[in-house]
């Protein structure tokens, strides 16, 4: 069960004067904490700073404690810099022996305040702490808005001294900022996960996408668009801009892109598709450009402003035999035939591809029609390409 922040918290330091840092040093640490979600090793820079400031041998941020169904996720900074560490499932039982768990939320404590020194003779100490030369521990637990249970731990080796009141005051002053930074990281990660999901779906649906900045420069393309553009047949990239090969079609494409780049507040236009001729004689590409709405408070001048969708009618579908078989209750042979038809094969070509007789192919097709409830090949192909199998 997720813990909630304590309803009665100790007064938080209102200025770095209560901590061992100057205002400039305190500001630098705060900046590193908020930079944390963008670091190559998340919060690696902030943990390195804290390790130095606190004269620690280890500074650790536990983003996800170990549990019975997943390993712990830690970022830790030691002598050789920051690293991401995934504790193995087998370590869960050992982690459960940690004497420094279940801390009051949003409080900073040391292990000697929480327990007598008997913890130094236990299995957890011998397995994890002693090999890493850990004698003193200061830590705090925080709970983010999304319910994430995070833990900050700072340690010192044998032969040093325990953390001071000013050390604890600094840690306490940093907790609200760390909580907000972890919350921002969670939101960024959620947005990125959704973006990857939608991008993968577009790839599976064989739709190419080209994102433009406010000046019409190309920001990003997906895998399907990359494949189409690599052929240089109908459309191409020149000086980081999308162009059609034929001059008349290129003028129309530039007009559509310009309309899609219209500034916020301009009269919205209905996206208009166009056909782009391919010099190879293959079927024409379909292109549609539409604006990308800006957020109400967006100030990023390099955000996506418009997007072009590119469809190649000759690109083969990526339907899965297993998915089609389960979705429509087909046999393996029937599903294989259905996919060949969806990819433009005739019955004779499908018979040759599958190495079976034409009569058998026709029997499979009759069975497919009966199971899917359609009566024509064109209807079957439409059913397959518009089903959830196309985005599996």
CA diameter of the chain: 89
- DSSP states of 42-91 as a string? TTHHHHHHHHHHTT-SEEEEEEE---SSS--EEEEEETTEEEEEE--GGG
Q: Which pLDDT score, from 0 to 100, does residue 237 have?
A: 95
Tokens (6 digits) for 316? 């083969």
Would you call 305 exposed, middle or buried from its count of C-beta atoms within 10 A (0-12, 13-18, 19+)? buried
Q: pLDDT tens for residues 222-263?
A: 999 999 999 999 999 999 999 999 999 999 999 999 988 876
CA angle centred on 73, ends 72 and 77, rounded to 5° = 125
- DSSP β-bridge partners for residue 237: 242
Instruction: Kindly list the distances between the CA atom of residue 263 and the CA atoms of 198, 215, 303, in Å, as whole numbers in the listed order.
Output: 25, 11, 13
| All domains of the chain in start order, with CATH | 16-192 (3.30.450.80), 205-311 (3.30.450.20), 321-391 (1.10.10.10)
Residue among 100, 89, 103 nearest 122 (CA): 100
User: What one-character DSSP code corresponds to residue 105?
Assistant: B
Q: pLDDT tens for residues 61-100?
A: 998 877 777 777 889 999 999 999 876 544 555 556 677 7
Q: Which pLDDT score, from 0 to 100, does residue 383 have?
A: 86
Q: Which pLDDT score, from 0 to 100, does residue 315 have?
A: 81
Q: Which pLDDT score, from 0 to 100, does residue 6 have?
A: 43
Q: Which pLDDT score, from 0 to 100, does residue 10 have?
A: 41
Per residue, the 3-state secondary structure of 354-389, as one string, reads HCCCHHHHHHHHHHHHHHHCCCCHHHHHHHHHCCHH
Residues in the chain with pLDDT values less than 50: 1-2, 5-16, 89-90
**């630098």: which residue's tokens?**
28
Instruction: Kindly list the distances between the CA atom of residue 174 and the CA atoms of 25, 168, 190, 213, in Å, as whole numbers in the listed order.
Output: 12, 10, 24, 37
User: What one-character DSSP code corresponds to residue 96?
Assistant: T
């Amino acid at each position: 069960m997720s813990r909630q922040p304590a309803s009665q918290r100790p007064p938080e330091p209102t200025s770095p004067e209560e901590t061992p840092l100057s205002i400039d040093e305190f500001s630098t640490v705060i900046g590193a904490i908020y930079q944390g979600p963008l670091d190559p090793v998340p919060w690696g820079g902030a943990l390195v700073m804290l390790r130095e400031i606190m004269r620690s041998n280890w500074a650790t941020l536990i983003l996800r404690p170990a549990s019975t169904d997943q390993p712990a996720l830690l970022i830790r900074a030691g002598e050789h810099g920051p690293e991401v560490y995934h504790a193995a499932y087998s370590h869960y039982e050992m982690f459960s022996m940690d004497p420094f768990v279940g801390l009051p939320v949003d409080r900073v404590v040391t292990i000697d305040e929480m327990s007598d020194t008997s913890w130094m003779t236990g299995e957890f100490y011998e397995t994890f702490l002693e090999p890493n030369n850990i004698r003193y521990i200061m830590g705090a637990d925080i709970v983010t808005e999304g319910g994430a249970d995070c833990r900050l731990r700072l340690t010192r080796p044998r032969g040093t001294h325990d953390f001071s009141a000013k050390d604890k005051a600094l840690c306490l002053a940093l907790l609200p900022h760390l909580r907000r930074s972890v919350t921002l990281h969670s939101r960024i990660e959620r947005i990125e996960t959704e973006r990857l999901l939608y991008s993968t779906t577009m790839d599976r649906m064989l739709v190419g996408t080209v994102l433009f900045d406010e000046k019409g420069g190309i920001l990003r393309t997906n895998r399907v668009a990359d494949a189409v553009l690599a052929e240089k047949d109908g459309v191409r990239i020149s000086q980081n801009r999308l162009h059609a090969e034929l001059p008349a079609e290129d003028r129309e494409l530039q007009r559509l892109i310009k309309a899609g780049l219209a500034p916020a507040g301009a009269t919205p236009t209905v996206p208009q598709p166009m056909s782009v001729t391919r010099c190879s004689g293959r079927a024409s590409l379909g292109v549609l450009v539409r604006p990308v709405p800006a957020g109400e408070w967006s100030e990023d001048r390099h955000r996506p402003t418009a997007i072009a969708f590119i469809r190649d009618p000759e690109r083969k579908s990526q339907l899965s035999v297993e998915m089609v078989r389960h979705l429509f209750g087909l046999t393996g042979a029937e599903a294989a035939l259905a996919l060949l038809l969806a990819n433009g094969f005739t019955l004779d070509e499908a018979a040759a591809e599958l190495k079976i007789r034409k009569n058998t192919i026709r029997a499979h097709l009759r069975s497919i029609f009966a199971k899917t409830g359609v009566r024509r090949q064109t209807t079957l192909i439409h059913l397959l390409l518009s089903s959830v199998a196309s985005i599996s």
